[in-house]
Amino acid sequence: MLKVLKFGGSSMASAEQYAKVKAIVEEDGSRSVVVVSAAGKRNKEDHKITDLLYLCHAHMKYGVSCDSVFGMIARRYLEIRDALGLKTDLEGALDRIRADMENGMSEAALASRGEYLSALLMADYLGFDFVDAADWLRFRMDGTVDREWSYEALKNLAKGRHIVIPGFYGSLADGSIRTFTRGGSDITGALAAAALDADVYENWTDVSGVLMADPRIVEDPQSIPHLTYSELRELSYLGFQVLHEDTIFPVAEKNIPLNIRNTNDPSHPGTVIMEHFDEDAEPTDERRFITGIAGKKDYSVVTISKRGLSSEVGAVRKVFEIFENNGLAVEYTPNGIDSFSLVVSGAKLEKVLHSIVSQLEEKLAPDEIQVTKDLAIVAAVGRRMLDRPEIPGRIFSALGEAGIQIRLISQGPREVNVILGVDGKDFATAVRVLYNSFVK
């Protein structure tokens, strides 16, 4: 039995949190591979070390001293070490970082040092070996991970040892450091689990699993005991931010269960995410028809109206081509008889709006082009919704009773979700109304 564990920023934020991590790891002898994030916030007003490292690099870029910011970073780690009574040579590591900074260290290399310092400390504290991510996690020039190379390298390095690995970064073939996008330590954990054919990938954070709605919108939402990989993909895409959205692929490929757990409540079973569940084996009170309520804000809708549009051969292709040429991904496309709408990211549309409108006018000669800003998407996701014809009706009446206008509806024949567009100002209310009508 081999378990790979990843601890997020809040689990690495202070000496007290390190003690919780140690207790969790030592409780189970198969918890032998630990991936760590940089120290996160200890409270709402606190700073994430990674943010401070990016800030430091911005100072360097403009030739401004970053001594005070670097001092904050150094102090945080030294404080944790001293409170735990460790002898880790952090001074040496910090001096090397300062020297590299003098020599024009890249932004990625500097940003990665939060995870590096966390891993040095945690390895010392647990009595595990430190294995640098730069020695096995190989990026290609295009930013994708060379999994084959990386898996082989980690297998050779790990060899049955108990190890701690820094998350978030790896290296290119020339040895230079490259990071994932923000929140990427989740991916490092998934890659380590896949490389070592782990029995489970435990992702330890500050909530008891994937919650049915964003806890910053809905008060104390229930946690979801079971999810399939595809439901989690769907929920992540639609706005759940509990895991980096690329976390799923490496574990799904090897069918390794992903268990999201709470460092501050370790006895809670959290959420288990797998390819498939035996539905009949699940307790009936867990057989909810809605798995989660997700949503995202800041979309815009471009509506093209023209008499006879639906019978004009090739019109839709021309519209898509124009959006494609402008590098704009189209999320949803509700249409009427004489009109066709495209839902896109508001911020991205803003940059190419003039170009898109002028090309649409030239190629389609429409009667009207309308742009509606500030649309939010709210979605109910659930694999059991397919068997429940009454669900969409319940969703509409709940929102109607709350006085929320529905601007857009999208549901495919085999979809595990119902997607609705509402005005941006109604976003949080819509999420709460749906949560309360289906869960409470």
CB half-sphere exposure, 222, CA atoms < 13 A: 15
User: Whose Cβ is closer to ligand ADP: residue 168's or residue 340's?
Assistant: 168
Nearest approach, Cβ of 230 to ligand ASP (angstroms)?
A: 23
Nearest approach, Cβ of 235 to ligand ADP (angstroms)?
A: 7
Q: Rule CB under 6 A: choose which of 9, 170, 209, 270 binds ligand ASP.
A: 9
Q: How many other C-beta atoms can be found within 10 angstroms of the C-beta atom of residue 255?
A: 10
- The interface mask with ligand ASP, positions 91-120, x = CB under 6 A, is -----------------------x------
- The interface mask with ligand ADP, positions 167-206, x = CB under 6 A, is ----------------x---------------------xx
User: Whose Cβ is closer to Mg ion: residue 166's or residue 183's?
Assistant: 183
- The interface mask with ligand ADP, positions 216-235, x = CB under 6 A, is x-------------------
Tokens of 374: 């500030």
Are 269 and 204 in contact by the 8 Å Cβ rule? The answer is no
Are 235 and 291 in contact by the 8 Å Cβ rule? The answer is yes
Nearest approach, Cβ of 218 to ligand ADP (angstroms)?
A: 9
Residue with tokens 């409170």: 83
Are 134 and 167 in contact by the 8 Å Cβ rule? The answer is no
Nearest approach, Cβ of 11 to ligand ASP (angstroms)?
A: 10
Residue 37 is a binding residue for ligand ASP (CB under 6 A): yes
Residue 40 is a binding residue for ligand ADP (CB under 6 A): yes
Nearest approach, Cβ of 388 to ligand ASP (angstroms)?
A: 37
User: Whose Cβ is closer to Mg ion: residue 14's or residue 236's?
Assistant: 236
Query: Interacting stretch for ligand ADP, rule CB under 6 A, among 148-156, 213-221, 282-290, 314-322?
Result: 213-221
Residues 175-204 that bind ligand ASP (CB under 6 A): 182-186
Residue 170 is a binding residue for ligand ASP (CB under 6 A): no
What's the rounded Cα separation, in Å, for the pair 437 and 440? 6
Residue 419 is a binding residue for ligand ADP (CB under 6 A): no
User: Whose Cβ is closer to ligand ASP: residue 116's or residue 323's?
Assistant: 116
Q: Give which of ligand ASP, Mg ion, ligand ADP, none residue 168 binds (C-beta under 5 to 8 Å, depending on kind).
A: ligand ASP
CB contact burial 232-245 (16+ within 10 A = b; e otherwise): bbbbbebbbebbbb
Residues that bind ligand ASP (CB under 6 A): 8-9, 37-38, 48, 50, 114, 167-168, 182-186
